Structure 1
Amino acid sequence: MIENFDLGDIVQMKKEHPCGNNKFEITRLGADIKIKCIECGRIVMLPRSKFQKNAKKLIKADQV
């Protein structure tokens, strides 16, 4: 379960996207989290609780 994440971070999810990739970029934060597939560019919107449960690990934190 991931607690700390921010816009632009790359996360690895437990389940793969139908395109076969499991790495996503966080594009929106709030009550819902919007993530974009790195491979095909599709956007998925999840409730924060479901995102935190399904996120496996933080791959790359966006450093400003």
Structure 2
Amino acid sequence: MKKPHACQTNRWEIVRMGMDIKIKCVHCAHIVMLSRRDFEKKLKKILEKKGEE
């Protein structure tokens, strides 16, 4: 994301994708829900992708 979380980390894991996107802070496990439009606007870059199994 463009701004770091309050715990000073900037790594998020996507928990759920749909109309709304649920992301979880990797450091403190805080969960945030954003609309897809807000998420795409705030996204900076993707660090890793998990493969489909």
Q: TM-score range by the shorter chain?
A: over 0.9
The one-letter amino acid of 1:33's match is I
Larger radius of gyration: 2
Distance in 2 (CA, whole Å) between partners of 1:15 and 1:36 is: 14
Percent of aligned pairs sharing the same letter = 50
**What is the match of residue 20 of structure 2?**
32
Q: Which runs of 4+ in 1 moved over 2 A?
A: none
Residue 63 of structure 1 and its aligned partner are, at CA, apart by: 1.4
* Aligned residue identity for 1:18: A
Which whole-Å CA distance do the structure 1 matches of 2:10 and 2:39 have between them? 13
**TM-score of the pair, normalised by structure 2:** 0.93
Kindly indicate whether residue 4 of structure 2 is the aligned counterpart of residue 16 of structure 1. Answer: yes
Distance in 2 (CA, whole Å) between partners of 1:23 and 1:14 is 11
Q: TM-score normalized by structure 1? A: 0.78
- Could you tell me which of 8, 30, 35 is aligned with 1:42? 30
RMSD of Structure 2 on Structure 1 (CA): 0.7
Any stretches of 5+ residues in structure 2 without a counterpart? Answer: none
Which residue of structure 1 aligns with residue 41 of structure 2? Answer: 53
Deviation at 1:37, TM superposition (A): 0.2
Kindly tell me the number of residue pairs found equivalent between the two proteins.
52
